[in-house]
Structure 1
Amino acid sequence: MSAATIKDLLSYRVHRLANALSRGAATRYRREFDVSLMEWRTLALLGGFSPMPLKGLSRQSGLDKAQASRTVSALVTRGLVLREVGREDAREVTLRLSPAGEVLYDGLMRAARARDELFLGALAPEERRVLEGAIARLTELARSQS
């Protein structure tokens, strides 16, 4: 079936879903943890994969380097992220969570997992498997087309 309007396009529908999921998450994380969506993503990536260079954080978060740098600076100011200058190259900055950042990360991940289960819980086990497979195949195809 061919898309009659933009609202019928897969990319538009997925974009709308992603925006709805992000808006709900942003509202909850701001209210419960006083972090923005970009700060949440930064904390989550550093909590799961640190130490991480700023360049890697930028790539993984989908933020350009300037956005990632501003987000990190705000988190450093709040005492949630530690910034370490490279020993061999002073231009290289490595990031990791501070002890306070780790505590916040734990709370954020509990909330994120509960939210994830709420959405996945709306699907039957077979629907979950199909969704996971579809997301993987579509992501691979989208990457190959860019």
Structure 2
Amino acid sequence: MPNTPPETIRDLLSYRIHRLANALSRGAARRYRRDFGVSLMEWRILALLGGFAPMTLRDLARESGLDKAQASRAVKALVARGLVERATGAQDAREVALRLSGEGARLQAGLMQAARERDAAFRGALPAETLAVLEEAIRVLQAEARRQTVEG
């Protein structure tokens, strides 16, 4: 069936991947809200700042897949909770550099541990050979998606 043309939207590879990504996100969102009191958007921002701070709002939005308004609202909520700090950018005083506070770093460490546990469960559900094929397929599909985006 891999070379059979799709008959309905449910047969489209992109649709199936989108549905899988949504299911993965719903599970993550439920766990992070229940165990850590953060939304999935907030989790993404905390995780990115934990690994790559300082970051600008524009960089956070791009890396997290959020639009700038969504990222701005999430950052504002995280700042209000004392989890994220704002500072003047090192290169440009008009730029705001974002980083985790001490409390934010502690929360992010717990979130990353939970994410690693989820990731290990997903990886463990696949035989090593299948996981290697999946990793390569993801790499190839990401490259093709970038190519199609550039070509318009």
TM-score, normalising length from structure 2? 0.93
Asked whether 1:95 is paired with 2:98, we answer: yes
Select which of 12, 33, 38 maps to 1:35.
Answer: 38
Supply the AA of the counterpart residue of 1:129.
A
Select which of 47, 60, 65 maps to 1:62.
Answer: 65
> How many angstroms apart in 2 are the aligned matches of 1:120 and 1:5?
30
1:7-47, CA deviations, whole angstroms, 9 ceiling, x for partnerless residues?
00000000000000000000000000000000000000000
Deviation at 1:122, TM superposition (A): 0.5
Percent pairwise identity: 66
> How many angstroms apart in 1 are the aligned matches of 2:64 and 2:12?
25
3-state secondary structure, aligned to 2:99? strand
Supply the AA of the counterpart residue of 2:10.
K
> How many angstroms apart in 2 are the aligned matches of 1:26 and 1:90?
35
CA RMSD of aligned residues (A): 1.0
Equivalent position of 1:111 in the other structure: 114
* Dislocated runs of 4+, deviation >4 Å: none
Q: Specify every segment of 5 or more residues in structure 2 that has no aligned partner in the other structure, as ranges.
A: none
1:77-99, CA deviations, whole angstroms, 9 ceiling, x for partnerless residues?
00000011235634311000000
Supply the AA of the counterpart residue of 1:45.
L
TM-score, normalising length from structure 1? 0.97
1:59-81, CA deviations, whole angstroms, 9 ceiling, x for partnerless residues?
10111111111110000000000
